[in-house]
Structure 1
Amino acid sequence: MAAHHSLILAFGLLGNIISFMVYLAPIPTFHKVHKKKSTEGFQSLPYVVALFSSMLWIYYAILKQGATLLITINSVGCVIETVYIALFLFYAPKKSRIQTVKLLVLLIAFGYGFMVIMTMFLAKGEKRIQIIGWICLVFNLIVFAAPLCIMRKVIRTRSVEFMPFPLSFFLTLGAVMWFFYGLLLKDYNIAFPNVLGIIFGIVQMVLYIVYRNAKKILEEPKLQELSDHIIDVVKLSTMVCPELNPVVLQPNDVENDITVEDENLKEKIEETKEEVKELSVQV
Structure 2
Amino acid sequence: MSERLRLAVGVMGNVASMLLYAAPMLTFSRVMKKKNIEGFSCVPYVLALFNCCLYTWYGLPIVSYQWENFPVVTINGIGILLEVSFILIYLWFSSTKVKKEVAKMVVPIILICVATGMISTFVFHEHRRRKVFVGSIGLVASIAMYASPLVVVRQVIKTKSVEFMPFYLSLFSFLASGLWMAYGLLSHDLFLASPNLVGTPLCILQLILYFKYRKNPVMEVEPQKWPDLEYNDDKLKQEEKKDQSMLVLTENLSTKN
User: Is 1:117 aligned to 2:118, yes or no?
Assistant: yes
Shift of 1:268: 9.2
2:242 is aligned to none
Residues 130-160 of structure 1 deviation map (CA, whole Å, 9 limit, x = unaligned): 1111111222122222222211111112221
Give the count of matched residue pairs.
221
Q: Distance in 1 between the 2:155 and 2:149 partners?
A: 10
Q: Distance in 2 between the 1:268 and 1:127 partners?
A: 75
Cα gap change, 1:270 to 1:59, in 2 (>3 Å): farther
Please tell me the root mean square deviation across aligned C-alpha atoms, in Å.
1.9
- 1:193-232 alignment to 2 at 5 Å? 193-216=195-218
One-letter amino acid matched to 2:99 = R
> Aligned to 1:28, which of 26, 29, 32?
26
Between the aligned residues of both structures, percent identity stands at 36
Cα gap change, 1:137 to 1:35, in 2 (>3 Å): same
- 1:32-111 alignment to 2 at 5 Å? 32-62=30-60, 63-65=63-65, 66-108=68-110, 110-111=111-112
Q: Distance in 2 between the 1:268 and 1:113 partners?
A: 62
One-letter amino acid matched to 1:40 = E
* Structure 1 moving runs of 4+ over 6 Å: 268-271
Q: Distance in 1 between the 2:204 and 2:191 partners?
A: 21
The answer to which structure, 1 or 2, has the higher relative contact order (CA under 8 A, 6+ apart) is: 2
Q: Given that residues 13 and 176 in structure 2 are in contact (C-alpha distance below 8 angstroms), is that contact kept between their aligned partners in structure 1?
A: yes
TM-score, with length taken from structure 1: 0.73
Q: Given that residues 47 and 141 in structure 2 are in contact (C-alpha distance below 8 angstroms), is that contact kept between their aligned partners in structure 1?
A: no
Residues 84-104 of structure 1 deviation map (CA, whole Å, 9 limit, x = unaligned): 111111111111112112221
Shift of 1:270: 8.2
Q: Distance in 2 between the 1:116 and 1:24 partners?
A: 27
Q: Given that residues 59 and 69 in structure 2 are in contact (C-alpha distance below 8 angstroms), is that contact kept between their aligned partners in structure 1?
A: yes
1:182 is aligned to 184
TM-score, with length taken from structure 2: 0.80
Shift of 1:267: 4.4
Q: Distance in 1 between the 2:179 and 2:206 partners?
A: 18
Q: Distance in 2 between the 1:18 and 1:105 partners?
A: 29
1:14 is aligned to 12
